[in-house]
Amino acid sequence: MSVKVDPMPSSRAVASGECSDPFSLRGRRALITGAGQGIGFALARGLGVAGAELVLNDVDPVRLEQAVATLRGEGFTVNGRCFDVTNGADVERSVAEVERGIGPVDSLINNAGIHRRAPLETMPTERWQAVLDVNLTSAFLVTRAVVGGMIRRRAGKIITICSLNCEVSRPTIANYAAAKGGLKMLTRAMAVEWARHNIQVNGLGPGYIRTAMTGTLTIEAEFDRLICARTPAGRWGESRELVGTAVFLSSRAADFVNGQILYVDGGLLAAL
């Protein structure tokens, strides 16, 4: 039986850049939601280092302006666009303006998220709905606005920021766990639906990361002890530790990676 093996790259392919750094994001534009601070900001900076042009979104205009100014000061090509990712009309208008005024979005990172904890038996409906809206429905709304262009161009990378709570839960976070569990399946559904258009949709699932969202938890001694004991790495993670995975999933290196959730959690989900 003869086995066909891909030939070595030709010198012409090397010269044309076909074989250059598969992780480079040079020439690509990335839109990152909720990027005024925390994980979104760190991912934006990391994608910028890898060569991407950046469009930052946040719902807080002052925070967004500061984030844009900081990254511009570091030499990146950055624009900001303030909109609420839960407002469908706002999302459609804003994405259209970005694509018309700045250029097409090659990579989208659905990062915006919130936590509103409460015991489930007394959880107010508004808390349930707000968390579902920001952590789940927004990914549908923003992706729907962006994907038409990707389908036309036959190329696109979409990353959803998932969570350990796609898989496991704790008391008082049922709204968040339901939203992130839904986001995991939305990620897979989008991957399956758009793979034929050469669009890859994957999830990045952070473990416990120090940010404003987890700020109050990091200083609660008991919770801090619990997280350090539960995480095989024995510590909280930092936002910058998610960058490599986001760059990978945004890059040519991930052209055949689709519908996966990649957990970056210091080993937590692997441990009993």
Beta bridge partners of residue 79, listed in sequence order? 55
Count of residues engaged in binding ligand NAP, rule: CB under 6 A: 30
Closest CA to 164 of 260, 239, 263, 249: 263
Residue 112 lies near ligand NAP (rule: CB under 6 A): yes
Q: How far apart are CA 193 and CA 191, in angstroms?
A: 6
Considering the complex, state which of residue 136 and residue 150 has its C-beta at the smaller distance from ligand NAP. Answer: 136
Considering only residues 14-33, where is the footprint of ligand NAP by CB under 6 A?
A: 33
Among 44, 56, 78, 85, indicate the residue that binds ligand NAP (CB under 6 A). Answer: 85
126 burial via Cβ count (<10 Å: 0-12, 13-18, 19+): exposed
Considering the complex, state which of residue 84 and residue 99 has its C-beta at the smaller distance from ligand NAP. Answer: 84
Residue 206 lies near ligand NAP (rule: CB under 6 A): yes
- Strands (E) in 6-155, as ranges, are 29-32, 53-58, 78-82, 107-110
Among 84, 186, 194, 266, indicate the residue that binds ligand NAP (CB under 6 A). Answer: 84
Do 22 and 251 form a contact (C-beta atoms < 8 A)? Answer: yes
Q: How many CB atoms lie within 10 A of CB 96?
A: 13
Considering the complex, state which of residue 24 and residue 260 has its C-beta at the smaller distance from ligand NAP. Answer: 260
Q: Tokens 């904890």: give the residue.
A: 117
Residue 36 lies near ligand NAP (rule: CB under 6 A): yes
Tokens standing for residue 69: 């100014």
Considering only residues 41-60, where is the footprint of ligand NAP by CB under 6 A?
A: 57-60
Q: Which of 41, 76, 128, 176 is catalytic?
A: 176
Residue 209 lies near ligand NAP (rule: CB under 6 A): yes
State the virtual CA torsion across 101, 103, 108, 109 in degrees, nearest 10: -60
Catalytic-residue membership of 263:
no
CA 13 vs CA 6, 7, 196, 199, 221: distances in Å: 14, 12, 25, 23, 56
CB of 132 to ligand NAP, least distance (A): 12
Considering only residues 215-234, where is the footprint of ligand NAP by CB under 6 A?
A: none
CB of 204 to ligand NAP, least distance (A): 9
Residue 111 lies near ligand NAP (rule: CB under 6 A): yes
Residue 39 lies near ligand NAP (rule: CB under 6 A): yes
Summarize as ranges the residues that interact with ligand NAP (CB under 6 A): 33-34, 36-40, 57-60, 63, 84-86, 111-114, 134-135, 161, 163, 206, 208-209, 211-214
Residues designated as active site: 176
